[in-house]
Amino acid sequence: MEKVVTITDVFKSYGENEAKVEALKNVSLDIEQGTFVTIVGKSGSGKSTLLHVMGGLEKPQKGEVLVDGISLYHLKEDEMTILRRRKIGFVFQFFNLIPSQNVYENIILPMCLDGRKEDKEYVEDIISMLGLQEKKLAYIDELSGGQQQRVAIARALASKPSLILLDEPTGNLDSQNSEEVMDLLKLSQRKYNQTIVMVTHDAMMANKADRVITIEDGQIVGDQHV
Ligand SMILES: Nc1ncnc2c1ncn2[C@@H]1O[C@H](COP(=O)(O)OP(=O)(O)OP(=O)(O)O)[C@@H](O)[C@H]1O
């Protein structure tokens, strides 16, 4: 199967001298297309750092990160921006939605920034899959937390990225909403053969994935195919 992510011997630290923290210690990892991977581990173990490194957001001091065969940190800044927009969808805990735009406009924003026209049929399909039809023209502050989360997911899916990265996407949702979000992600994964990597501290969520990677103190200590 084709590999969407290949991480080889990645080392990432923050700070210097006494304040130095080694967040990732020579981590290597391959992720195959169409897999739903969760990353679990204690607070401070390096989960978010791994996700950020994978998404081209934090350059490691050592090692290589390939997304769809492209070496991320050898790209120029503008090439990286384009690659991120086209190949990677991000969903973070704070959804970064634009309050002055409606739901539909928020969903197609990354494509607009990229000067691309959205695939209307695909976007409509995602909107209906996420149960947002009634809210298409609503503004963000008229939505509940769960609905805002769905808009953030729709936005990440809309440009058909090869890779979707989610950092604690259900962190501020109740358990019913969290389960719904997980089910929707799985539906999308299957329907569009997307690769999903999600950081979570919730073991129940984690075990709904195809593969669970456990990080401890900057190293992968568990890699379980469910
Ligand atoms: N920008 C930064 N500057 C300095 N240290 C950082 C920075 N980002 C992360 N760290 C440190 O690197 C280590 C790994 O952090 P990371 O956020 O990857 O952990 P995590 O497993 O995602 O934690 P959590 O579950 O609490 O979000 C931690 O010790 C953290 O304090």
CA angle 62, 89, 145 (to 5 degrees): 120
Nearest CA to ligand 1 atom 2: 14
CB proximity list for 66: less than 8 A, separation 6 or greater: 3, 5, 6, 7, 72
The sheet that has 62-67: what strands, in order across it? 21-32, 3-14, 62-67, 70-71
Summarize pLDDT for 45-102 with one digit per residue, the tens: 999 999 999 999 999 999 999 999 999 999 999 999 999 988 999 998 777 899 999 9
Percent of residues, the chain, with pLDDT higher than 70? 99
- 216 DSSP assignment: E
CB 151 within 8 A of CB 106: yes
Q: What's the rounded mean pLDDT across residues 141-169?
A: 90
- Which of 10, 47, 221 to mutate to test ligand 1, by most ligand atoms within 8 A of the CB atom? 47
Top mean-pLDDT range of 19-28, 109-118, 146-155: 19-28
**What is the predicted pLDDT for the residue at 180?**
80
Task: Indicate if the pLDDT at residue 1 is higher than 80.
Answer: no
Q: What is the phi/psi pair of residue 26, to 5°?
A: 50, 60
**What is the predicted pLDDT for the residue at 182?**
86
Tokens representing residue 42 in the block = 């204690």
CA 23 / ligand 1 centre spacing (Å): 7
**What is the predicted pLDDT for the residue at 173?**
73
For the beta carbon of residue 198, count every other beta carbon within 10 angstroms.
26
Nearest CA to ligand 1 atom 14: 46
Q: What's the rounded mean pLDDT across residues 193-210?
A: 90
CA 121 / ligand 1 centre spacing (Å): 39
Q: What's the rounded mean pLDDT across residues 25-36?
A: 97
The torsion of the CA quartet 170, 168, 136, 159, rounded to 10 degrees, works out to -140
What whole-number distance in Å separates Cα of residue 74 and Cα of residue 76? Answer: 7
Residues with CB under 6 A from ligand 1: 14-15, 21, 23, 41, 43-49, 201
Residue ranges of the domains in the chain?
Answer: 3-225
- Which of 16, 48, 198, 201 to mutate to test ligand 1, by most ligand atoms within 8 A of the CB atom? 48
Which ligand 1 atom minimizes the distance to the CA of 41? 21
For 3-225, which CATH superfamily applies?
P-loop containing nucleotide triphosphate hydrolases (3.40.50.300)
What is this structure's pTM? 0.91
Confidence band, pLDDT 50/70/90 cuts, at residue 213 = very high
- Dihedral sign computed on CA atoms, order 24, 29, 35, 37: negative
